[in-house]
Amino acid sequence: MNFDDTPQEAAFRETARKWIEANAPKELHGELSKSSLGRIRLANHDIVDVGKAWQKKKFEGNWACLHWPKEYGGRGATPIEKVIWQQEEGVYGKLTQPFQIGEGMCGPTVMAFGSEEAKRRYLPKLASGEEIWCQLFSEPSAGSDVAGLRTRAEKKGDNWVVNGQKIWTSGAHYSDYGLLIARTDPNVPKHKGLTMFFLDMKSPGVEVRPIKQANGMQEFNEVYFTDVVIPDSQRLGTVGDGWNVSLTTLMNERMSIGARLATGVPEMFEFCSDLMLEDGLAIDDPAVRSKLASWAAKSNGLKYTSYRTISALSKGERPGPENSIGKLVSGMMLQDIATYAMDLQGAAGVLTGNDEETAQGQFQQMLLSSPSMRIAGGTDEILRNIIAERVLGLPGDIRVDKDVPFNKIPTKGR
């Protein structure tokens, strides 16, 4: 048991470190370091602009999407090399936010199901950041039950005509391409009538509308499709096999979202170390210490769980199921920590501005944003189902709509 790199890993780390040292946008280091709660705030720059610049530089240096094959814009790196790169990239990794869905979900799906021509055309530009991709899966009536989606694609000659609506699409407003799953046959059970496509987001009939979220920010969109034409050459997988294709994407989603998780513990520790309560520092208060220690132990547990995963990768083994707990634990913890920090602030905790009493409102922002952590990329409940079924081997839910043609499934609760 040790934390040392193998000689090859150490050499790789050294190469990566040197390249980053020579090329990273150091002027952004301070601001990126402070953007620790999953919210990137840059005073003078747009994240997409600076992100694209960093992505392009990485691509030219052969560091973008480095675990992809070389012919598609990657470096042919091993999984452990990708982890080492991420460790070395550090805060600059936050600049990759606009590309994560493309790199983590859309790219792998194109790689697995696209034609050779499509792979050579689209993947290198995705890797270089020149073209940004989004994922068009969720719908107003198909969230956790994504196979219940209603967006229709109908075959007209060599093309498909798409009508419907998607929702929760991160980055749709700045994306060039989208990975779209649509219903091509409503007369068969829901999982069997789906097909996967990709499309140009500038296609006529695509309309992107931002969603104002509960936290006041606008990071997601609704995307409407009105008679949007997609050539059959942009179909991924066979007609009716969209559900299987989507599993590739979703499996990658859970892995990539789990990779860089905020727990709120370092912020809370610092806050409690500085906060003066009536009887002294918060961190000297027995009730505060008890909660803080439990959270710290949980957060350490997540960190060392990821080390176990990394070790498996380093040995060339498939990681175990332990990685599946990350988002479930950190999402709830973030929300609990935010609530408790505000409790310690007392009446002033209600303020959300740049007030000194509330440590610049960071926990208020965390409180308002944390519900999304427990929903996006699989709700807490879906994640528990996954652990129960795939890790513990418990039976799947009884699915009353499993063998029913999609167009016979009830659409209203009452």
Per-residue x/- mask for other proteins, residues 252 to 291, rule CB under 8 A?
A: -----------------x---x---------x--x--xx-
What is the CB neighbour count within 10 angstroms for residue 326? Answer: 22
Nearest to 182 by CA among 237, 131, 132: 237
Task: Collect all residues with Cβ–Cβ distance below 8 Å to 376 and sequence separation of at least 6.
Answer: 168, 257
| Residues belonging to the active site | 253
- Shortest distance, position 329 Cβ to other proteins, whole Å: 6
What span, in angstroms and rounded, lies between the C-alpha atoms of 314 and 312?
A: 5
Residue for token pair 């050294």: 14
Contacts of 400 (CB under 8 A, 6+ apart): none
Question: Is the CB of 281 or the CB of 348 nearer to other proteins?
Answer: 281
**Which of 214, 348, 350, 391 forms a contact with other proteins (CB under 8 A)?**
391
Q: Which stretch binds other proteins (CB under 8 A): 186-194, 237-245, 247-255, 310-318?
A: 310-318
In the bound complex, what is the minimum distance in angstroms from residue 383's beta carbon to other proteins?
8
Distance in angstroms (rounded) separating the CA atoms of residues 258 and 268: 21
Neighbours of 253 (CB within 10 A): 21
294 in contact with other proteins (CB under 8 A) = yes
Q: Report the nearest approach of other proteins to the CB of residue 393 (Å).
A: 7
Q: Is 322 exposed, middle or buried (0-12, 13-18, 19+ CB in 10 A)?
A: middle
Applying CB under 8 A, does 359 fall inside the site for other proteins? no
- The residue (of 23 and 78) whose beta carbon lies closer to other proteins is 78
Q: Which residues of 189-225 are buried (b: 16+ CB within 10 A; e: fewer)?
A: bbbbbbbbbbbbbeeeebebeeeeeebeeebbbbbbb
Which residue from 55, 169, 246, 305 is in contact with other proteins, where contact means CB under 8 A? 305
Residue 328: helix, strand or coil by DSSP? helix
Smallest distance, Å, CB 295 to other proteins?
Answer: 10
Among residues 384, 392, 376, 405, which one has the least CA distance to residue 146? 376
Residue 343 to residue 339: CA distance in whole angstroms = 6
Q: Does 307 engage in binding with other proteins (CB under 8 A)?
A: yes
Residue nearer to other proteins on the CB measure, 246 or 330:
330
| Residues in binding contact with other proteins, number by CB under 8 A | 50
Q: Does 384 bind other proteins (CB under 8 A)?
A: yes
Identity of the residue, 96 or 305, whose beta carbon is nearer to other proteins in the bound complex: 305
Distances (CA, A) of 355 to 112, 224, 243, 268: 50, 40, 49, 17
State the nearest-atom distance from the C-beta of 367 to other proteins, in Å. 23
Site string for other proteins, 316-355 (x = CB under 8 A): ------x--x--xx--------------------------
CB of 6 vs other proteins, minimal distance in Å = 9
202 lines the binding site for other proteins (CB under 8 A): no
Question: CB–CB of 126/108 below 8 Å?
Answer: no
Residues that bind other proteins (CB under 8 A): 1-5, 9, 269, 273, 283, 286, 289-290, 292-294, 296-298, 300-305, 307-308, 310-312, 314-315, 322, 325, 328-329, 381, 383-385, 387-389, 391-398
